[in-house]
Amino acid sequence: MKKNLLLVILLVTGFQAFSQKEKLAKTSAGFPVNYDEDAVGAYTLPDLFILGNGQKISTSKEWTEKRRPELLRLIEETEYGKMPGPPPELHFSVFEKGTPIMDGKAIRKQVTVYFTKDESGSLIALL
């Protein structure tokens, strides 16, 4: 009885282990993809206390003034990109402020956001 129970448990866990491997596409939208962690190559993260030119960082002031901006630039270039500044003609017009709503539990402020000098095309924001 115990042998049969052990055999059933082993078979069930074995089937579960094999069922975890899916046949996933090797490409997505024409780009190669990897869903298998074992297929990832070796990668070493850069040392946070060595500048791009190889100089070692020894104080927190050096890190804040030199290394941190390097890392932020690296993230900006490779991961997120740089956020554009506001449009030069961006301006706002508050047309309602301090109106109690929801039985006094909140205060509504309404603002019109203009992205150009022309005030015909606008976006109304409820704050």
pLDDT value at residue 107: 92
pLDDT digits (tens, 9 = 90+) for 29-81: 888 888 878 778 888 888 889 998 999 999 999 999 999 999 998 888 888 88
Write the secondary structure of 11-73 as one string of H (helix), E (strand) and C (coil): HHHHHHHHHCCCCCCCEECCEECCCCHHHCCCCCCCCCCECCCCCECCCHHHHHHHHHHHHHH
Helix, strand and coil content of the chain, in percent to the nearest 5, comes to 35, 25, 45
Q: How many CA atoms lie within 13 A of 86 on its CB side?
A: 9
| Closest listed residue to residue 111, CA positions, set 86, 99, 89 | 99
Share of the chain above pLDDT 90, in %: 23
**Contacts within 8 Å (CB) and 24+ apart, 116-119:** 116/87, 116/89, 117/89, 119/93
pLDDT value at residue 17: 60
Encoding tokens for residue 99? 């109106």
Q: What is the pTM of this model?
A: 0.41
Mean pLDDT taken over the chain: 82
pLDDT value at residue 63: 93
